[in-house]
Each structure stands twice: as structure tokens, then as C-alpha cells.
Amino acid sequence: MRKIVLILLFNLTLFASTNSCLLDVYFGNGVWNSLTQAQISRDKLKKFMQDRNPDKFTLADEKVTYDFKYAHNKTHGALTDLIESYWQLFESGQISEGYFTFVARLLDGSLTEDGFLDDLKMIISQSDGDTDAMYEKYQTESFNQKHNVLLVSHSQGNLFANKIYALLSDDERQHFRNVAVATPADNIASGGEYTTLFNDFVINTVPGSLPGNAEGFGHTFVNSYLNNPYDATVDKISLGLKNAVNALDENSCSAYLHFRWIGFICPQESDTDLRVEIYGSKKDGSFNIEEFIMTDARNRVEKVYNEQTKKLECPISGWDLRTTTPHYNRNGCTAYTFDDTSGGYHSLEYIASQTYGNVATCTQYNMSTAVFEILKKLE
């Protein structure tokens, strides 16, 4: 019987169309911003970061190593946006129920108790819906693509930032940083840096908000903060952004670009040799260098007696041999690529969910949980 020793160098390039170190910089706007206004602020932020950190944010590298996006905080009307902001402050425990109710009733135009409660339910629903939409955007456009996320939030955008952070998984938090500007919140949930002007007339009216820590007057993101006349204030914002970018670069870039999956047909066979060896490819200058990572196990399937044929037969179906790869031949064993039945590129999660079988040797391979967790961290 032939001996099959599996060496798992994933033949599929995992996330082949993505860049694991690509940085997505999001702008999270405050109240009363149309989509167009949010886009303008995002573009001003991009120019600010390109001018202040030209080595990291070169024009040639845009859309290659970094991209600028926005997480639009929709406006639902001037007074409604304010009630929503105070609801978020109450929801986080920053203000009391009595204080929130007083402000909400003052701002709401309903003449009846039922009308007020109906308006409040609508506002809460809108706030939750906007939060979910933002989180889905981060997941779809960034986290699922293995990108890092830097959220630069302004005013009410900081309240959404704190709510988003609470939704993130531990892994997503490793790929996420938040730099707060003019925050009405009493904390930065992600532990990032913040800048609020001593004379920000909006934030100064919010109970419990983080104290001012920079010179200047006003509240608008571009004119009051990015274009602030005090060099020390602008430098403070710039340094906070650089620190966040550097932290993401140091902690979240991938160790390996991809893995390859290969099997071996050998002259002899034993249970102890039905192993899987895993290799990864990493970038070294302009060359990809493959390295051994670890081993996993392939399992033999017990044959079943067939009454009709009067023989022991393998109960599984399938044949994982695809094409031979002589480059990996060794010790008299012939190498072949493992067959991916769909023939395309897939995520590590997809590959880990598959069962690969070889009816000729009556063996199967399922990636073990321990191996999956290790490879996940090495993507």
C-alpha cells in the first residue's frame, strides 16, 4: 500500500486579492454633517496626514498601503441629532437619566407623553441602526479584508467610536486604533489619544466630558482643529495620529503572505507518517521565502465490510490528488498539490471548514483547531 505523507503548504493564496498590512483610515463625523461634508472632511484629513507624515503616506502608495474612508454619521435633523447624542451619553453612564430626560424633553417638540416616547423610541432605533451600519462597514471593507483600521472621530463621532469598540472582537481590537478630536465622551474606549481645545464652546457644555488639553477656539473639525493657528495644537493632533499608525504597523502586520498545501505519495505507509507539515511564505525584499511552521495530523478512516462485494471498503469518497509538483519531491516521495474542489481562492476559515479525503488510502484531513488558531495569527 502506498504511503501518504502530507506536507501542508497551502497551494491557495489566502486572501490573494488583499493586503494584510493595508491601513484604512476612517473619518467619523459629528452631528449635522451631510455625506458630502463628511467626504470633504475626510479629504482634508488625508491631506493633513500626507503633509505631516510624508514617508508613510506617499501619493504613490495611496490605495496600495493605505486608503482613506468615512464612517458616515447620518444627520436625522438638528434637534434629533442632539437628543441622540445625549442618549448616547446616558447609555454610556456619563449623565443621569434625569438629566437626559430633561434635555430630551426640552429639545423634543411633542406635546404629549406618548408623542415624546414615540420620538424617543425612533431616535434610539436610528442610533442603534447607524451603529450597526458602521460596524458592518468596518467588517466588510476592512476587518474581513485583513486591513488595519484607524478611526479619526470628531464630536459625536467619538460616541459612535466608543460604541463600535464595544462590539469588536479581541482580534479586531488588535487591528483597531481611535484618535479622538473634540470628544464629548468621558473616555476613549480603545485607550487612544485625544485633542480637545480649551475653548471648544460645544464640548465645554457637555457634563463629564474629557477636559480640554490644547490651545485654540471653536469646534469644527477642519477650521478649528486641523487648521488651528497654534502649532503646538496641530503638532499634538499629528503626533497622536502617528502614534496610532505606528502601533498598528508594529502589532498587526502579517508574518506570512500565504501558505501552500502539498501531499506526498511514498513507497511505504504507516500511521505515524500520516502527518501534515505546514510552511508559510514571507516577503524578503523582492523575493518570497518559504519557512517551515508546524505539523498537523491526517487520520485513517476505518473500512467497512460490504455484504454484496464481500470486501472491506472505504466509506468515504473523494480523491485529493490534483497535480504533481516535482519541485517538492523528496526521499523517494512524489509531491502533489492538494485538491481544492472549488478551484478558487478562499479564506483560511473556508479551508479549515473542509474535509479532504483520499479513498485509495482511506484517509481524511481536517485542520485541527489548534493549527487554525496559530495560522490565523500568522496571516
Residue 23 has pLDDT above 50, yes or no: yes
Residue 28 has pLDDT above 60, yes or no: yes
- Give the pLDDT confidence of 264-298 residue by residue, as tens digits: 777 776 665 566 677 777 655 445 677 777 777 77
Burial of 91 (0-12, 13-18, 19+ CB in 10 A): middle
CA distance 102 to 61: 50
Query: Given this model, what pLDDT does residue 347 score?
Result: 65
DSSP 62: B
C-alpha cell at 99: 438629566
Grade residue 2 by pLDDT with cuts at 50, 70 and 90. Answer: very low
Query: Given this model, what pLDDT does residue 329 score?
Result: 80
- Give the pLDDT confidence of 175-210 residue by residue, as tens digits: 999 999 999 999 999 999 999 999 999 999 999 999
Residue 30 has pLDDT above 90, yes or no: yes
User: Which of residues 82 and 369 earns the better pLDDT score?
Assistant: 82
Query: Given this model, what pLDDT does residue 253 score?
Result: 54
Query: β-pairing, 23-28 with 148-154?
Result: parallel
When mean pLDDT is compared across 7-21, 26-40, 279-293, the lowest value belongs to 7-21
Please, are residues 313 and 306 in contact by the beta-carbon 8 Å criterion?
yes
Query: What average pLDDT does the structure give for the chain?
Result: 85
What is the arithmetic mean of pLDDT over 334-345?
56
Assign residue 216 a region (left: φ > 0; alpha: ψ between -120 and 50; beta: otherwise): left
Assign residue 15 a region (left: φ > 0; alpha: ψ between -120 and 50; beta: otherwise): left
- Give the pLDDT confidence of 62-93 residue by residue, as tens digits: 987 899 999 999 999 999 999 999 999 999 99
Neighbouring residues of 287: CB distance < 8 A, sequence distance ≥ 6: none
Distances (CA, A) of 71 to 29, 149, 151, 237: 7, 11, 9, 20
Helix (H, G, I), strand (E, B) or coil at 168: coil
The secondary element (H helix, E strand) that includes residue 264 is strand 262-266
CA distance 35 to 27: 12
Residue 20 has pLDDT above 80, yes or no: no
What is the arithmetic mean of pLDDT over 99-126?
95
> Could you give the domains of the chain?
3-17+255-378 (no CATH), 23-252 (3.40.50)
The secondary element (H helix, E strand) that includes residue 278 is strand 275-284
- Give the pLDDT confidence of 162-174 residue by residue, as tens digits: 999 999 998 899 9
